[in-house]
Amino acid sequence: MGKSAVWRHFKLDEHNSNIAICKICPTGCNDSRVCRNSNTSNLWTHLKRKHKPIYNKLLPNDEQNQSQLVVDQDTQILRLNSKKLSIESIDALIAGMIVDDIQPLSIVEDDGFGRLIDSAFPYYKIPGRRYFSQYIKRMHDEKKTRINQIIRAS
């Protein structure tokens, strides 16, 4: 098992080391067995969906969510010195890009986009276009409600 904080809530299956078992879920819960595929993305996703309060406690605080671009003076290579952003922050950034740049929802399923996100945020598993369709609709509904409240107040 790795050093990631998520491992506090999972153990490896005795018979299959590619399966992690959630220590929080009740025994027999089908969702308690999570395929880990040599990384923790699925484990983080399980905590986010099934155990939100615990997931939120494991996230780094806002001060640690800062990303910096750093130029290595010896090699002149630009690298992203990134701290872990919350899943919600990355979802919001992707949805915002889709809306602002008038991109098709299918961009989240493109190979190049997947490689870009995987390079920047290796712990993040990109949801499908249906998720972002619903996410963008919620963003729209929330903004519409705020605008209506402002209009009514004036």
Helical (H) or strand (E) element with 64: none
Structure tokens at 116: 């870009």
Give the pLDDT confidence of 80-114 residue by residue, as tens digits: 555 567 888 899 999 999 999 999 999 999 999 99
Domain that holds residue 91: 85-153
Residue 11 confidence (pLDDT): 83
Number of structural domains, the chain? 2
pLDDT band at 142 (very low <50, low <70, confident <90, very high): very high
b/e burial code for range 127-153 (CB count within 10 A of at least 16 → b): beeeebeebbeeeeeeeeeeeeeeeee
**Does residue 78 form part of some domain?**
no
Whether residue 90 is found in the same domain as residue 149: yes
**Does residue 26 form part of some domain?**
yes
* Beta-bridge mates of residue 80: 69
Q: Determine the Cα–Cα distance for residues 146 and 142; give it in Å rounded to an integer.
A: 6
Whether residue 11 is found in the same domain as residue 53: yes
Predicted TM-score of the model (pTM): 0.48
